[in-house]
Structure 1
Amino acid sequence: MNNSLNGKIALVTGGTKGIGKAIADKLSNAGATVIITARTKPEESLNGQYFIGADLSKAESAKTISKQILEKYGKLDIIVNNAGANLTPGGGYSSLTDQDWDNELQLNLMSAVRINKALLPLMIEKKTGVIINISMNPAIQPIWEMTMAYSAAKAALNAYSKALASELGSKGIRVNTVSPGLVKTPQMHQAMENMSRSLNITVEEATQSVINKLGGVPLGRPAEPEEIGDLVRFLVSNEASYITGAIYQIDGGSMAVV
């Protein structure tokens, strides 16, 4: 699929590390001009990608990003709403404050809602575009010890994505959701450390506990971020032109339901 995205302008939020970086690099390698956002600019090379500093948990960030994209490029073909994180402490309902719930909703749901609202007019005007919202398997398989509020926010993102796909299909815009399971990222390691502290167990025990709650991973390993990037690259390409409103689980077979 080299050069399959030539001439396309793509935005990847949270695109400087982990899954977001892998997605941004895959889109760049396929020929797209890629814009990435994060709170801070990384020290390493951006591989020719244009960086916009933004905290997407803040409402004003979407307007800042939209303004810069419009001024610099005048169009946008692809949005990948990857920014998100499990920010809250483990321990279940009693450990979560109203602020914890709000933090999860702002970053994991409202960031995508605001970005899409700000940038969709550029796509609607040209009657073409693709949106990928990055969810996670905890949206449909929550782990109460560590993902209660995060799972609720991602479940809301799934519902929003399906509704948006139904609304925008007649306007030539496709919307799909990619839902990874365990992925080897700094965020995953941090989540395991948080869980280990809250339950007073080792990081290794916390990781194994999560794997056990998932019923195991049939492929026997977490995903590499690049494997998520490969799926996103396909879904934003013309090869996926009849796919919209779908949720793609990419979890090594860990979701043991139909």
Structure 2
Amino acid sequence: MTTMQTGAGLDGKRVLVTGASRGIGRAVAERLHEEGAVVLAAARSFTGRADGNLLSVSADLTTVEGCDAVVESVRSHLGGIDVIVHALGGSSAPAGGFAALDESQWRKELDLNLFPAIRLDRALLPLMLAQGSGAIVHVTSIQAQSPVFEATLGYAAAKAALANYSKGLSKEVSPKGVRVVRVSPGWTETEAAVALVERLAREAGSDYATARGKLMEAIGGIPIGRPNTPSEVAELIAFIVSPRAPTMTGVELRIDGGSLPVV
């Protein structure tokens, strides 16, 4: 009789997680740390706990200089890299459709949601290729396939570009031992999402549950009846980067409660 391995087998693995100050990124950093990995959590500002195996670096990853600082921190503090989780993302664009997005807004969406992953991969992938192993997770979004044009068209386009880049990268480096996987969350109840619902409730003079339900209706519904939690997305990513998923590469895994109505 064989006993199923329950641990993720991440003891001593050197991990970089971006966007790790809150939301999905923070949940991923803490989950992989729990599994025994040595985690470098990168964000513009980081307020989470830190100990010998959970390190942090503050850097603005929307800039070349910020990405360079993170790469240097990986080299100096980790001495190499086994896993990269690109959880950085978001949107600051105003509502109003395409006409509301000027040159500056488009640049911000790309600088936040696309270019950091490209820059960090370009700098750190050679370390993985040299050792013949590694795993990269690009956190995309179901909006890459179902954009909400009224408010987040630039974000959706940037995430679609990230997904396309990720697929191409997987075809190039998977034969060399590096796995590349996309994780595509639907609405996830992060701190920012909670703040949004609270604002909508105040504006409508309703309570949180009512505003939450209306928002779910506005995005087309969530068949399972609720959003993801950050810890649920983190659990999926922990599985992907573990030895329990050794042949998983070049694919996109959606975690959206059934929101996206496609096969």
TM-score by length of 1: 0.91
Q: Secondary structure at the match of 2:179?
A: strand
Shift of 1:17: 1.0
1:158 alignment partner in structure 2: 163
Q: How far apart are residue 207 of structure 1 and its match?
A: 5.1
Q: Is the 8 A contact 1:3 1:29 kept in 2?
A: no
Which of these residues, 225, 237, 242, is aligned with residue 237 of structure 1? 242
Give, in angstroms, the shift of residue 213 of structure 1: 4.2
What is the distance in 2 between the residues matched to 1:207 and 1:96?
A: 27
Aligned length: 254
1:12-51 → structure 2 map (5 Å cutoff): 12-42=17-47, 44-46=48-50, 48-51=53-56
| 1:77 corresponding residue in structure 2 | 82
User: Which of 111, 119, 123 matches 1:118?
Assistant: 123
The residue that corresponds to 1:2 in the other structure is 7
Give the aligned residue type for 1:46: A
- Structure 2 length as normaliser, TM-score? 0.90
Does residue 220 of structure 1 match 2:225?
yes
Residue 144 of structure 2 corresponds to 139
Q: Which runs of 5+ in 2 are unaligned?
A: 1-5
Residue correspondence of structure 1 range 50-129 to structure 2 within 5 A: 50-129=55-134
Amino acid corresponding to residue 55 of structure 1 in structure 2: D
What does 1:154-233 align with in structure 2 at a 5 Å threshold? 154-190=159-195, 208=213, 210-233=215-238
The aligned residue for residue 257 of structure 2 is 252
CA RMSD of aligned residues (A): 2.1
SS at match of 2:244: helix
CA offset at residue 202 of structure 1?
A: 7.2
* SS state at 1:5 partner: coil
CA change 1:87–1:77 in 2 (3 A) is: same
Q: Name the structure 1 match of 2:154.
A: 149
Structure 1 gap ranges (5+): none
CA–CA distance in 1 between the matches of 2:154 and 2:196?
14
Structure 1 runs of 4+ aligned residues shifted over 4 Å read: 190-194, 200-210
Of all paired residues, the percent bearing the same amino acid is 38
Q: Deviations over 1:3-51 (max 9, x none)?
A: 6101200000011211111111111111111000111131x42354110
